Amino acid sequence: MPLALIRPHIKPTLLLAYPVVLSQLGHIMVSVCDSVMVGQTGKLPLAAVSLGVSVSTVVMIFGMGLSFAITPLVAAANGRRDIPALGNLLTGGVWLSTVAGIVLAAVGFLVAPFLGYLDQPSVVVALAAPWVRVMFISLLPLMVFQGFKQFAEGLGLTRQAMILSLLANVVNALLCYALIFGHFGAPAMGMMGAAWATLIARVLMAVLMATYVLRAKRLQPYRAAATHWLRPDGPTLRRLVALGSPIGVQMMFEMGAFSFSAIMIGWLGATALAAHQIAINVASVTYMAASGIAAAATIRVGNFRGLGDATGARQAGFTAYLITFLFMSAMALLLIAGRHLVPHFYNHDPEVVAQASLLLLIAALFQISDGLQVVGLGALRGLEDVKIPSIVALLAYWAVALPFGYWLGFRMHMGATGVWIGLLTGLTLVAGMLLWRFRHHSAALAAPANAALAHR
């Protein structure tokens, strides 16, 4: 697409994206803080956190995918200025997210006893099990936060979630420092201190985000239209589930592939698993920044779609693609330059640092593919196109990336490096297929308007 058509969209996209990017970074920095501080206590606790994150994140990401359905529907209804629909989306979205949070929190107590069947080092499993239970409990306040946050972001109100996420990040860091090491009169709880810190921070996020949406003057018309909190509108709820379930499944396929790769790497021992946790934790920071741009793409594409402007939706999507490509290219260069330095912030074991440095080199290579695939998902959500991307994710990650990674890692004896090359391959396939999908789908939607202009 010519740059002249994209240029008018760059500034609005950046203004909408930067609060979401900072909010997403605040969210992932909770995990970074946990890993950095736990890593100071030894490689076994760090490996246990890696195992716990691998298990809990797969479940968490499905719930977040459900909540992501709120944003494009709100953006489209806002584009039409449909106040009653926005009221129904507020109640339906919060209700769905809360129920999902309750279910996901309960799942943790079912999952923890089965960690031993993943063929991980027994000492790592023993450390991970109680950590997993607390982290699953924290999914309830996280999902409540998501329900209110996604509604606000669908209206273009992205700064509030950014501020709250950054505040919660500060609280989490202070609590981690106190509870892991026993400072400020707190008990020294080791890695469990990180889990309890995350739970407290997420409760704070949920309370503050709910307070904003339920009290802000500018949101009064939508609250007035939200008349049935305990009995949400049936068609709205069904539409949220119909749109959110494929998003959740797609995200589960993607995150599940990364989680299963961690389990495979755990078969290689605690050192490899600790190195994997460092590399995936660092790569997650740039990924979450790209996902913030993807959220802006969902909002802008959804708004243009609600206005009936398919050409504007197409241009907004490609603008997000361009911004993401440039950003992730810069991040790839930074990772290459800092790959020997960054692991020391997590752990000082020479073997862990050496393996993590190599994995960070591969992570640098898949930065661009990772960014382009997540922005492609965001743009397609704005078009309410979610089912085909789920199938793409299933095939690329589970039929290609994981088998190829296993073959390289264990049959070709490349270890964790081979598993990561498999992930790089899957990400690249998904990125290419979703770009093709958005290009053709958006062109088909814009074709009638372009034909009408040509006949004038």
CB 89 within 8 A of CB 151: yes
Better-scored residue on pLDDT, 340 or 21: 340
d(CA 283, CA 215): 37
| pLDDT tens per residue across span 76-97 | 888 888 999 999 999 999 999 9
Better-scored residue on pLDDT, 169 or 342: 342
Mean confidence (pLDDT) of the chain: 86
Q: Residue 3 contacts by C-beta under 8 Å, 6 or more apart in sequence? A: none
Percent of the chain at pLDDT above 70?
Answer: 96
Better-scored residue on pLDDT, 319 or 162: 319
Domain containing residue 425 = 3-454
Neighbours of 77 (CB within 10 A): 24
Q: Using pLDDT thresholds of 50, 70 and 90, give the confidence band for residue 1.
A: low
The average pLDDT across 5-24 equals 80
Number of compact structural domains in the chain: 1
Per mean pLDDT, which range of 213-217, 230-234, 296-300, 306-310 is the poorest?
230-234
Q: Using pLDDT thresholds of 50, 70 and 90, give the confidence band for residue 453.
A: very low
| pLDDT tens per residue across span 188-206 | 888 889 889 989 999 999 9
User: Would you state the structure tokens that stand for residue 230, as one six-digit string?
Assistant: 């305990």
Q: Using pLDDT thresholds of 50, 70 and 90, give the confidence band for residue 42.
A: confident
